[in-house]
């Protein structure tokens, strides 16, 4: 009996403490190194160790703590399966399957682990706190690299030295309002107000309009929700701080292309229109099987087809440094995965957004829990719906958002309540 009781306690320790901790802290490690070009070893540990712990837990419990019938799970699985279908029908099967392993497998693993390990409001709150802290870190890093690398001695700006921060800040900054609304002390509130107010001009300094529009959409979503619950005071603090710091930054640090790029964004951009028309016509001229299933996941075929179209249109191949990508996530998916892949991605958008909006409107959850849902929804809409119209997007950060949504929806389904209501600013 003593041995049996000891084994039961040992098993409970593994499935209730050790394995969940491995999954949770492994995801933290992955999140910290996700957006950096360094730390590949730590990133790999954070990527592959948590799924091993998840499988071990399922083996011990003889079952998965996953609702496989959840529409978000189903549509994510189907989207990844469409990538396999596209790869198997691709003229370059090996290269396409290699891309699938590097991208879609990672997306699914992150989604699965995050949805499982962060299926309570308390654990999700810790993850959102980490993302908000990372937003502060990359805000500081953006200013540092802008001054030390992008800004030259004669006052011109080399935006390639800070362009990577455009997507990073647009993705991370929308998590800060959640921390602002749920902070209890005045000092914490000031920290998050200053952080967000400094982050927006840092995003402007990156010089790329896609991230600006993405952040604008996130601000609008947060603003509409705050106004709906009469949260005028935090909204006014954020807007005032942003205006003050943006004015200070743009007058202190030379940013000569900001006005030009805003004007271009209001008018038009011929480069994008040229690419969109080109890839639309390439798709229209493709064989039926390619329209349905795509050409495969590798960019090699996509670039080859574009060069052929360009030569047929102009009589010569594109210049050496001419951008060859469509600069549109939806067109890229249409070319790579065909109508099936694009249709499933659109379904993923509607399932994600619809599920999250319904969950946020749940009357049985607190204001803090609603704000948590808004924080997850904003970067998804801003980056993978709006910014995706003018840029090819990475899938690993998408895996985090899908997993957060899955965990958040499961938390509400289980009826887990949290007394950490939004404190007034």
Annotated domain spans of the chain:
1-65
Q: What is the largest CA-CA distance in the chain?
A: 85
Q: Please name every residue paired with 151 in a beta bridge, in sequence order, or none if there are none.
A: 157
Residue 155, SS3? coil
Q: How confident is the model at residue 234 (pLDDT cuts 50, 70, 90)?
A: confident
C-alpha span between 46 and 188 (Å, rounded): 29
| DSSP letter (8 states) at residue 321 | T
Residue 319, SS3? coil
pTM over 0.85: yes
Q: What is the pLDDT of residue 1?
A: 46
Q: How confident is the model at residue 300 (pLDDT cuts 50, 70, 90)?
A: confident
C-alpha span between 352 and 348 (Å, rounded): 6
pLDDT tens digits for range 65-95: 777 778 999 999 999 999 999 999 999 999 9
Tell whether the torsion through CA atoms of 321, 165, 396 and 292 is positive or negative. Answer: negative
Q: Please name every residue paired with 157 in a beta bridge, in sequence order, or none if there are none.
A: 151
Helices in 93-162 by DSSP H: which ranges? 93-117, 121-145
How far lies 314's CA from each of 44, 134, 306, 310, 317, in Å? 45, 46, 12, 6, 8
Q: What is the pLDDT of residue 8?
A: 54
Residue 35, SS3? coil
Average pLDDT over residues 202-229: 90
> Residues, the chain, total?
425
Q: What is the pLDDT of residue 47?
A: 94
Q: How confident is the model at residue 267 (pLDDT cuts 50, 70, 90)?
A: very low
Report whether pLDDT(415) > 60: yes
Q: What is the pLDDT of residue 419?
A: 46
C-alpha span between 52 and 353 (Å, rounded): 30
Helices in 361-415 by DSSP H: which ranges? 367-381, 396-414
C-alpha span between 333 and 423 (Å, rounded): 42
Work out the percent of the chain whose per-residue pLDDT is above 90: 54
């Amino acid at each position: 009996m003593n041995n049996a009781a000891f084994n039961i306690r040992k098993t409970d320790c593994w499935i209730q403490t050790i394995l969940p901790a491995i999954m949770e802290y492994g995801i933290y490690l992955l999140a910290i190194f996700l957006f950096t070009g360094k730390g590949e070893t730590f990133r790999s540990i954070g990527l592959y160790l948590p799924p091993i712990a998840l499988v071990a837990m399922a083996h011990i419990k003889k079952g998965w703590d996953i609702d496989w019938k959840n529409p978000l799970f189903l549509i994510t699985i189907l989207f990844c399966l469409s990538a396999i279908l596209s790869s198997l029908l691709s003229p370059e099967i090996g290269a396409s399957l290699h891309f699938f392993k590097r991208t879609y497998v990672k997306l699914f693993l992150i989604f699965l682990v995050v949805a499982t390990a962060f299926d309570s409001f308390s654990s999700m709150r810790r993850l959102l706190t980490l993302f908000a802290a990372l937003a502060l870190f990359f805000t500081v890093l953006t200013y540092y690299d802008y001054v030390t690398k992008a800004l030259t001695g004669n006052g011109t700006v080399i935006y390639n030295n800070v362009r990577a921060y455009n997507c990073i800040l647009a993705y991370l900054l929308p998590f800060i309002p959640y921390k602002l609304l749920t902070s209890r002390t005045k000092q914490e509130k000031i920290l998050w107000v200053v952080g967000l107010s400094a982050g927006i001009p840092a995003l402007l300094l990156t010089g790329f309009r896609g991230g600006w529009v993405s952040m604008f959409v996130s601000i609008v979503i947060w603003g509409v929700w705050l106004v709906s619950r009469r949260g005028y005071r935090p909204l006014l603090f954020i807007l005032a701080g942003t205006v003050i710091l943006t004015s200070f930054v743009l007058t202190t640090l030379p940013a000569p292309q900001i006005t030009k790029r805003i004007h271009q964004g209001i008018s038009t951009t011929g480069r994008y229109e040229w690419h969109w028309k080109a890839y639309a016509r390439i798709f229209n001229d493709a064989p039926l099987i390619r329209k349905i299933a795509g050409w495969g996941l590798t960019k090699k075929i996509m670039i080859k087809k574009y060069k052929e179209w360009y030569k047929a249109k102009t009589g010569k191949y594109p210049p050496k440094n001419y951008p060859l990508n469509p600069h549109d996530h939806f067109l890229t998916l249409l070319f790579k995965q065909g109508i099936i892949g694009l249709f499933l991605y659109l379904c993923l958008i509607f399932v994600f957004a619809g599920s999250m909006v319904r969950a946020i409107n749940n009357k049985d959850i607190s204001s803090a829990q609603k704000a948590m849902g808004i924080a997850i929804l904003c970067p998804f809409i801003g980056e993978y719906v709006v910014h995706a119209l003018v840029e090819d997007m990475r899938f690993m950060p998408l895996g985090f958002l899908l997993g957060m949504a899955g965990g958040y929806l499961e938390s509400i389904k289980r009826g887990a309540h949290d007394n950490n209501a939004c404190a007034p600013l």
